[in-house]
Amino acid sequence: MKKYVFLLVVMTLGLLSCGDDDKPVIPELDKLTKVVCAKGTDVLYFAYINYTDDGKIASMDFVNGKNVPFIYVGDKITMVNPDEDIERIEYLMNGNVIIKKSVNKNNPFNKEVYTSDEYNYLYNGASLTSASLTMKWPKEGESGYESQKFDKEEAYIWENGNVTLFTQDKKRIEYKYSSTALTPRNFPWRVIPSFNPVGFDAFSPINLLYGNQSRNLPESANSYSLSGDDDTTASYTYHFTTTGDYITGLTIREQISSTDKIAEVNTYEYTFIYSK
């Protein structure tokens, strides 16, 4: 009898320990479906993001009438006519990350479509660290093209799970982060290859396809050049508004300074809306 009681106790403890080891189910956050950016009384951009039934970006619609559809074929994603000068942008995926981006334009001399910019991305694990760039342009009045390659067009430095520095040539932008505020999994902010971090590209959902996000939300950024020919500096401060697990608002204050100009101060107000 004692033997059976002992076995029953062991089985009960085993079931309890298995239950303790089960990871809690974390509900999936709704996807970002609308981004609005205003500067004072002017709306700078107003974008709707639409998704397919399986959660991929289907299109981006802007209130200025521009519609940008996404086409999926195998490992390739094509953004059709994202800009008036661009015929399409193609992204090549490897698993869950973008490894190549090709910008295709129309040749003004013969109307053929050619690849003007090709980026190849390098990752350390799932963290984007650099990108090379091959540029190509048509010869004016002649057939054929010229090209040039830049082995490290973009470089990203990570510290404590956050991108703290982006460099391109002699320009740099440094970011500082909150020690407590974490980036929600559905919020697609990232350090973009730009020294003007207030545009839509900084919040486009396609950013979620570039591997790891920065772990924490940014608090400030400073942009400057190491070249003696350019003494323009810019600083940015970030103030987020959260509702539950969601970031619903953001204020970015920008100050641009140089020795020969009065400092320019701008405030950008963002609204983020999610699917239900």
74-90 confidence digits (pLDDT tens): 999 999 998 888 999 99
Of the chain, the percentage scoring pLDDT greater than 70 comes to: 90
Q: How far is residue 208's CA from residue 188's CA, in Å, rounded to a whole number? A: 6
Please report the pLDDT score of residue 231 as a whole number: 83
Q: What is the mean pLDDT of residues 111-122?
A: 95
Q: In this model, does residue 1 exceed pLDDT 60?
A: no
pTM of the predicted structure, to 2 decimals: 0.86
For residue 141, is pLDDT > 70?
A: yes
Mean pLDDT to the nearest integer, 162-176? 96
Picking from 242, 253, 249, the residue whose alpha carbon sits closest to that of residue 197 is 253
Run of H or E residues at 159: strand 145-159
Kindly state the DSSP code that residue 211 receives in the 8-state scheme: B
Report, as an integer, the average pLDDT of 26-53. 93
Q: In this predicted structure, what is the pLDDT of residue 6?
A: 45
Sign for the CA dihedral angle at 143, 85, 204, 77 comes to: negative
User: 204 or 229: whose pLDDT is higher?
Assistant: 204
For position 84, what pLDDT does the model report? 83
Q: What are the start-end ranges of the E strands in 52-96? A: 57-62, 67-73, 76-83, 86-94
